[in-house]
Amino acid sequence: MAELMTDIPVGTGEPKAFYVPLAIRTVKNLRTCLRWAWLDIVCHYRRSRIGPLWETINVLVMVLGLSVVSSAVIGGDVSDLIGYIGLGIIIWTTISALILEGMTTFVRNAGLITTSNVSIDCYVGRTVFRTLIVFCHHIVLYFLGLALLLVPLSWTSLLSLVGIALLFINGYWVGVVLAFLCARFRDLELIIRNLLQLAFFITPVFWKADLVVSSKRAIVDYNVLFYFIEIIRAPLLGQVPPFTYYAVAVGCTIVGYIIAVLVYQRMRRQLAFFVA
């Protein structure tokens, strides 16, 4: 047993004493992660003429396109659909970024992981915060929608903050688990990429959940991703999401972090070998 692991408590030997320092360190490092993510974004835009606007424009184009297609295929007025679809796309983009970027975190940072002893949760935090910053770019479109009266404004909207917090808190553990697994099993990345594409179509992002025939409701009822979308989208559209959605999200958080700790414990020491 190595006595020194920069981010595994040294020499305590007692596994029960391991979780608390791990959690404390991870939380303490969050501020650093945010700064690192911010620097990433700043550097990224430095060489682009309109910088941050690109993020917003990309999503805007996607939203307009899908709204038109959706109203043409499923029916309904574009101005009725656009709020629902727009928020759906914004949230979906975030979910997919959390998964896609999260799973490649360690592979992308291989050079740093094998040469420095920066505590590894910094890499995960960096990815999650970067996604959060990009999300903030996209949410500008929501305010644009408010100004154009495409989405209603009410006190219920504030409830979405809870949903956003839950989404990113879950994004962190997903990042930890996937980053480790994808560093070790490189095929996984390709499989997840594929599945995520499929998930976009079976999740009610740009179509309404009540359109599904009752015999096939399962694809919505058991779709956790839909729950995460709804706890953000529904309040912003002035509806209070069912309590079960929150319960499921909180359940995911708890189970997720347990899995993350187990994966960390099992794979942390080998990480440099996985990415070397």
Partner 1 sequence: MTLVRLTNVNVRIPIYDSHALRLIRLPAFGRAKVGTQAISHSGAVLIIHALNSLNLELHDGDRVCLIGHNGAGKTTLLRVLAGIYPASTGKVEVVGKVFALLGNSMMMNPDATGCETIKLVANLFHWPEERMAEFIRDIEEFTELGEYLSLPTRVYSAGMQTRLAFAMATVQTPDILLIDEGIGAGDAHFQEKAQARVQQFISRAKIIVLASHSIQLCRAMCSKALILNKGTQDFFGDIEEGLDRYAQLRDGPA
Q: Which residues bind partner 1 (CB under 8 A)?
A: 1-6, 10-11, 31-32, 35-36, 39-40, 43-44, 46-47, 111-118, 122, 184, 269-270, 272-274, 276
Q: For partner 1, which is the closer residue by CB, 185 or 222?
A: 185
Q: What minimum distance in Å lies between the beta carbon of 8 and partner 1?
A: 8
Q: What minimum distance in Å lies between the beta carbon of 217 and partner 1?
A: 41
Whole-angstrom distance, CA of residue 77 vs CA of residue 6: 57
Q: For partner 1, which is the closer residue by CB, 44 or 208?
A: 44
Q: For partner 1, which is the closer residue by CB, 21 or 238?
A: 21
- The residue with tokens 């608390």 is 20
Q: What minimum distance in Å lies between the beta carbon of 3 and partner 1?
A: 4
Q: For partner 1, which is the closer residue by CB, 58 or 270?
A: 270
Sign of CA dihedral 189, 194, 195, 199: positive
Q: For partner 1, which is the closer residue by CB, 135 or 274?
A: 274
Residues in the chain: 276
- The residue with tokens 């942390």 is 268
Q: What minimum distance in Å lies between the beta carbon of 276 and partner 1?
A: 7
Q: For partner 1, which is the closer residue by CB, 117 or 197?
A: 117
Alpha helices in 18-116 (DSSP H): 19-28, 30-46, 53-73, 78-103, 105-108, 110-113
Is residue 14 within 8 Å of 274, Cβ to Cβ? no
- Close Cβ partners of 263 (under 8 Å, ≥ 6 residues apart): 176, 177, 180, 181
Q: What minimum distance in Å lies between the beta carbon of 26 and partner 1?
A: 14
State the CB neighbour count (10 A cutoff) for residue 163. Answer: 24
Question: Which three-class secondary structure state does DSSP give residue 219?
Answer: helix
Q: What minimum distance in Å lies between the beta carbon of 267 and partner 1?
A: 11
